[in-house]
Amino acid sequence: MLKINDQLGRSLTFSQVPQSIVSLVPSITELLIDMGLTESIIGRTKFCIYPEKECNSIHRIGGTKNPHFEEIIRLKPAIVFANKEENLKEHIDLISEHTNCYVSNIQTIEDALKMINDIGYIFDKKTQSEQLVAAINEARKHFQFKKKTVIYLIWNKPFMSIGHDTYISSFLEEIGYENILPKETLRYPTLSLEEIKQLAPDKLLLSDEPFPFKEKHKEELQLLLPEIKVELINGSYCSWYGSRILTAFKHFKTELA
C-alpha cells in the first residue's frame, strides 16, 4: 500500500504503482515523459505540447480550464495530476470523487522540487527524481550575478504582471532578477504604462505566454520606454516547474553570462 499527501495536504492511497495517468498540467506532462512514463499517460490537455513527439501520441482530453470530465472518467486513470492555480477546484473535486488526484501547489523552486520527488515516490522512480533534483540544485549554484530589477509582463491590454508570491517571481530571483513590484502587490496585478515608467526597472520582460508577446510589441514598448531595456523571454522557462527547470537554468546560464 502506497500513501502520500499532495501539495494541498490531501491524502492519496494506491494499492500498487499507478499504471495509467491523466495530466492536466503541461509542465507535469513533460516531467512525466522525461521520467520515462510516456506509455502510462493516457490523457493530456491540448496545452501539453512538450516534448512534441511524445505528446502528439497521447490522447487529448480538453484544456486546463475545460477538461472533458466524462472522457477522463471513461479512461479510468489510476491518477490524475492537477494544479491549484492552473485547474479549477470544481473539476478537481469531481475527479477526486472517482480516482486519486494529485494537486500541486507551486510558488517556489522548493515546492517544485518537492513535487518532483513526490512523483518519483509514487511511480517507484526515486532514483530518477533524486538525480533530477540534484542536477537542478547544482545548476542553481551558477547564478551569482548582481541583481537587475525587472517587471515581467504576462498580458497585454491591460498590462498584467506577477506578484512576489508566484513561482515566476521565485524563479526570476533564482537567476539574478529582482521583481521591482511592491511586496504587497496582488498576485497578478495590472499596470499602466505610467506606473511602469515610475517603477523604472532595469528591464521590462515580455513573456510569450499566456499572451504571445512578439517582436512588434517589444519595438512599440521600447519606443515608449526608452530608459528601460525591453526584452522578449521564453515564458515556459520561467513558469514550467518540472524537468524544464533544469533546461531553463542551463539556458539562462548562457544567456545571462
What is the tens place of the pLDDT at every residue in 4-47? 999 999 999 999 999 999 999 999 999 999 999 999 999 999 99
DSSP string, the chain: -EEEE-TT--EEEESS----EEE--HHHHHHHHHTT-GGGEEEE-TT--SSHHHHHTSPB-B-SSSB-HHHHHHH--SEEEEETTTS-HHHHHHHHTTSEEEEE--SSHHHHHHHHHHHHHHTT-HHHHHHHHHHHHHHHTT--PPPEEEEEE-BTTTEE---TTSHHHHHHHHTTEEE-S-TT--SS-EE-HHHHHHH--SEEEEESSSS---HHHHHHHHHH-TTSEEEEE-HHHHH--STHHHHHHHHHHHH--
Give the chain's end-to-end CA distance (angstroms, integer).
48
The percent of residues in the chain predicted with pLDDT above 70, rounded, is 99
Q: Please report the pLDDT score of residue 147 as a whole number.
A: 84
Q: Please report the pLDDT score of residue 257 as a whole number.
A: 57
Q: Please report the pLDDT score of residue 184 as a whole number.
A: 81
List, in order of start, the domains of the chain with CATH numbers.
Answer: 2-126 (3.40.50.1980), 148-255 (3.40.50.1980)
What is the tens place of the pLDDT at every residue in 106-117? 999 999 999 999
Rg from Cα positions in the chain: 19
| Mean pLDDT value of segment 145-160 | 93
